[in-house]
Structures are given as C-alpha cells and as structure tokens.
C-alpha cells in the first residue's frame, strides 16, 4: 500500500542569518526542500504533505506543484504539533513517513528499508555518532527494543553518554496518528510537543517499535547554518563524483566538480577541474571538458572538446567539435559535427552546419550558417535594430574576411567571399567577391600633433 509522506519544513532557521526561508537555500543548485520532495516521490506515495511556517508564502510559491499539499503550522510548537497540521490531509490507510525539509541527503533506499522495518507498527531511523551532542538519544530495553527517545535537554548524564541518536525520520501507522498526537504533552524543557514522544505512547498501546541504523550517517545531517550547508554541499558533490566515476567518467579531481542538476556521461568522458554542470547536461562518449567550464542544459556530442573557461547554455553540440577556450554558446545554438568555435566567440540562436568555423573574436547571432564556412576574426552579425531581431543566412562554402559586419536581414550566397573590413547590407551573390571599402589615401604633408610643452 502506498504510504503518505509528511515533510516538516516550517522552521525559521535563525542560524542561517538570512531573509530566505531555510528550506529554500540552495543545495547543488536547487532548494534543499526540492531534494527532499524528489526523494519522497521515489516512494510513489499516496500523498505528499509539506508543513510550512516561516516564509510560508515563499515556500509555497517556490515549490507549488500538483502532487503537493501544503499545511500551515502557525505558531511553531514542535514537531508533534507540526504533524498534527498534516493529519487531515492524509490518506487514512497504511503508513505515514515523516521527513524533514532541512535534511536533504536522505535516500529513497533508506526510507524503503524503514518502511519494511515498520511493517504495521512504528519504525525510526537511528544513527551511531562519535559526537551525539544536540541529538535525542535512543533508549532501548534489556532486549534491545526501543522504549523511548529522550531529547538532550531532558536527558540525564548517563543518557547523554549514549551514542545512538534519533535522526527524526519515522514511519507511523496513519490510522493511529490522530489519537496518539492528541496525547502529546509539552511538559519539557522547550515547552514543545515532541514527535518522538509517540514512541512511548506506541509501546504503551502494544504497538511494536523498531529502529534501524543508517548505513551512512551523512544521510541524516540537518542544515541549520551556512557552514553546515557548505558541509552538506561537499558531501552531495562527492556522491555525484563517485557515481560518475563508477559509470566510467574520468575526473581530474573528484573534489573539484559541481553538479547542480542532472549530468549524464557516456564512455570515456573526461572532466577537468572546477567545472559546473547545471540543469540537464549530457556528455556523449569521448567528450572532453577542459577546466573552469560552465555547462547548463547542454548536449555535447561524441569526441567533442570543450576548452577551458567556456560557458555553454542551452546548446546542442555535434560530434568532433572544438569549442573555446573562452567561448560562449547561448540558448538556441545548434552545432553540427566538426564545427570549430574559438576563443572569445559568442554564438546565440544560430544553427551552424558541419565543418564551419569561427576561430577568433566573433559574434554569430540569429543566424543560419551553412557547411564549410569560415567566419573571420572580428566578424559580427548585426542582428538587432534597437527594437527587433533579424536573421542572417550564410550559405555553404562562404569565406568571410576579418572585421566584417553583416547587417541583418541579409543573405550571403553559396561560395561567396566577403572582403575584410566590409559592411554588408544587401545580398552577396554566389561565387563572387563582395567588399565595401573607401579608397585608401596617404597624405604626405601631414604631421602628427606634438604636445604643447607649456601645458
């Protein structure tokens, strides 16, 4: 039976020292809450309820999707009180999984194991920590069964010495939640309603309480400060790097890569240091990415080389291309095979056919470029008239000399040659030289001005 999932995301996050709600701070390019929601969806739940509070309008606006239900917790009176706000939205049958919007590294595999451990009862996820400071301790009876959770503020000295801690993740029988939550008390050091008190209530009612220990304690790390956010970011990136290398990618330094979306690599892909991948990026077999590149929503074809410091956004790149260094490809760029885009060249909303090249200091925007075209250094397509964009068409086998301006809309026909320094405003005919130049003049009597010594 499909479980319910409740994500507690109402905390203020005072230690973040930020106006942004804590759960909206970015981890790997997405709000940390988005990671938790994605994990929840992997459980194929009957319902996902997000309990929000501080910055609620911003949380709802950022996360609003058709499969999410939002429940307001106002004021915030503890985790037990937070779950009370969600109960009315849950499917009554089966189990309810409790997650946390500021604990984004939890995996679906661990949660599935927790569901199995719960059966029709209660299960909690524990962790063994060398330093358990700040966590509630798991109390077990002589048989090793869970008999309760004690928060650190309420614990005795002997209880504080326990290294097995409660992570907060729980599976509970949904049908019992309303009755159990009504029995919670706030008679504790914080004056809050603790979700963990449900363990003792369940045992009193004869409901079995199981606990499993997380195989990787990092999954249970919560984020309450910018330092903790940075720590979790590196753990997340290390996970991504390990997975990429398992799939056959070569990373020059696994500690210096940032994946802020979905990165898919073919065989024998190589990635140099300090590269950032955002959105959906696919690197086909043999692609080679130089250092300090940023790729966003890109597909890179087989055996293509992206040289250092290139920025590529929303582009489709064919096989055996050579891009950069210091190249910029903007959205709508489509490069066929064997295209060369060199240093300080920018391409936007343009299709460039096979074998063409723009190797130096050029701008190609809103253009259709044919096969085997040479775009000389300093060439620009003048595509914007101040109000509207216009298209440039360059047919096959065209040679464009350096420092040429192509004023769109304009067509350069097949096999044409454009002389260096020309400004082309009308159609250039096929297989002819077209150029626009004034007559060169030398003035023999001209003298260079000399600075006045008295000034």
Whether residues 309 and 372 fall in one domain: yes
User: 342: number of CA atoms within 13 Å, CB side?
Assistant: 13
Tell whether omega for the bond before 409 is within 30 degrees of 0, i.e. cis. yes
Write out the residue range of the structural domain in which residue 82 sits: 4-220
Mean pLDDT value of segment 307-313? 98
Please provide the average confidence, as pLDDT, over all residues in the chain.
Answer: 95
As annotated, the active-site residues are: 360
pLDDT, tens only, 401-413: 999 999 999 999 9
pLDDT at 454 over 80: no
Three-state DSSP state, 57: helix
Residue 68 burial by Cβ neighbours in a 10 Å radius (0-12, 13-18, 19+): middle
pLDDT at 65 over 80: yes
Per the CB < 8 A criterion, the answer to whether 307 and 327 are in contact is: yes
Mention every residue, 6+ apart, whose C-beta is less than 8 A from residue 36: 7, 9, 99, 100, 101, 103, 104, 106
* CA angle in degrees (0–180, nearest 5) for 5-9-11: 150
Q: Which residues pair with 367 in a beta bridge?
A: 392
**Strand 122-128 relative to strand 164-173: parallel, antiparallel, unpaired?**
antiparallel
Residue 455's pLDDT band (boundaries 50, 70, 90)?
low
Q: Where residue 170 sits, what CATH number does that domain have?
A: 3.90.550.10
Select from 183, 200, 220 the last residue of a domain.
220
Token pair 């809309």: residue? 409
Residue 1's pLDDT band (boundaries 50, 70, 90)?
confident
Lowest mean pLDDT among 36-45, 139-148, 229-238: 139-148
Per the CB < 8 A criterion, the answer to whether 286 and 265 are in contact is: no
Angle between the N-to-C axes of helices 32-41 and 56-63, in degrees from 0 to 180, rounded to the nearest 10: 50
Residue 358 inside a domain? The answer is: yes
Residue 276 inside a domain? The answer is: yes
pTM of the model: 0.90
Q: Look up residue 154 and give its two tokens.
A: 């309420």
Residue 441 inside a domain? The answer is: no
* Distances in whole angstroms, Cα of residue 335 to Cα of each of 278, 301, 354: 20, 10, 8
pLDDT at 120 over 80: yes
* % of the chain beyond a pLDDT of 70: 100
Whether residues 231 and 216 fall in one domain: no
Whether residues 430 and 291 fall in one domain: yes
pLDDT, tens only, 130-172: 999 988 899 988 877 898 888 888 899 999 999 999 999 999 9
Residue 374 inside a domain? The answer is: yes
Task: Report the alpha-carbon distance of residue 394 to residue 217 in Å, rounded.
Answer: 59
Whether residues 65 and 172 fall in one domain: yes
């Amino acid at each position: 039976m499909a479980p319910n999932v409740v994500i507690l995301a109402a905390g203020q996050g005072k230690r973040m020292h930020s106006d942004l709600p804590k759960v909206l701070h970015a981890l790997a390019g997405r709000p940390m809450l988005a990671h938790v929601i994605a994990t929840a969806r992997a459980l194929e739940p009957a319902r996902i309820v997000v309990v929000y509070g501080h910055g609620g309008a911003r949380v709802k606006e950022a996360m609003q999707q058709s499969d999410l239900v939002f429940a307001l917790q106002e004021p915030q009176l503890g985790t037990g009180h937070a779950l009370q706000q969600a109960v009315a939205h849950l499917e009554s049958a089966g189990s309810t999984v409790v997650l946390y919007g500021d604990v984004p590294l939890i995996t679906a595999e661990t949660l599935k194991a927790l569901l199995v451990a719960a059966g029709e009862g209660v299960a909690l996820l524990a962790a063994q920590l060398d330093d358990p400071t700040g966590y509630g301790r798991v109390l077990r009876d002589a048989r090793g069964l869970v008999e309760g959770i004690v928060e650190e503020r309420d614990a005795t000295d002997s209880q504080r010495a326990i290294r097995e801690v409660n992570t907060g993740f729980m599976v509970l029988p949904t049908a019992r939640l309303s009755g159990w939550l009504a029995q919670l008390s706030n008679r504790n050091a914080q004056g809050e309603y603790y979700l963990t008190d449900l363990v003792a209530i369940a045992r009193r009612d004869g409901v079995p309480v199981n606990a499993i220990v997380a195989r990787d304690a990092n999954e249970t790390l919560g984020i309450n400060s910018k330092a903790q956010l940075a720590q979790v970011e590196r753990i997340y990136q290390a996970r991504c790097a390990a997975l990429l290398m398992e799939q056959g990618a070569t990373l020059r330094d696994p500690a210096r890569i940032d994946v802020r979306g979905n990165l898919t690599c073919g065989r024998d892909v190589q990635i140099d240091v300090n590269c950032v991948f955002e959105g959906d990026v696919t690197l086909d077999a043999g692609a080679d990415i130089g250092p300090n590149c940023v790729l966003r929503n890109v597909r890179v074809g087989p055996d293509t080389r992206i040289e250092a410091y290139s920025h590529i956004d929303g582009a489709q790149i064919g096989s055996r291309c050579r891009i950069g260094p210091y190249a910029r490809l903007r959205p709508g760029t489509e490069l066929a095979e064997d295209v060369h885009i060199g240093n300080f060249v920018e391409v936007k909303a343009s299709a460039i056919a096979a074998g063409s090249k723009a190797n130096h200091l050029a701008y190609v925007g809103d253009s259709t470029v044919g096969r085997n075209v040479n775009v000389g250094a300093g060439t620009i397509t003048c595509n914007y008239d101040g109000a509207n964009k216009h298209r440039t068409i360059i047919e096959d086998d065209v040679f464009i000399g350096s420092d040429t301006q192509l004023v769109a809309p304009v067509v350069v026909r097949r096999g044409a040659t454009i002389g260096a320094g020309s400004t082309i405003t009308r159609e250039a005919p096929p297989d002819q030289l077209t150029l626009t130049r004034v007559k060169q003049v030398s003035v023999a009597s001209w003298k260079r001005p000399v600075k006045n010594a008295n000034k």
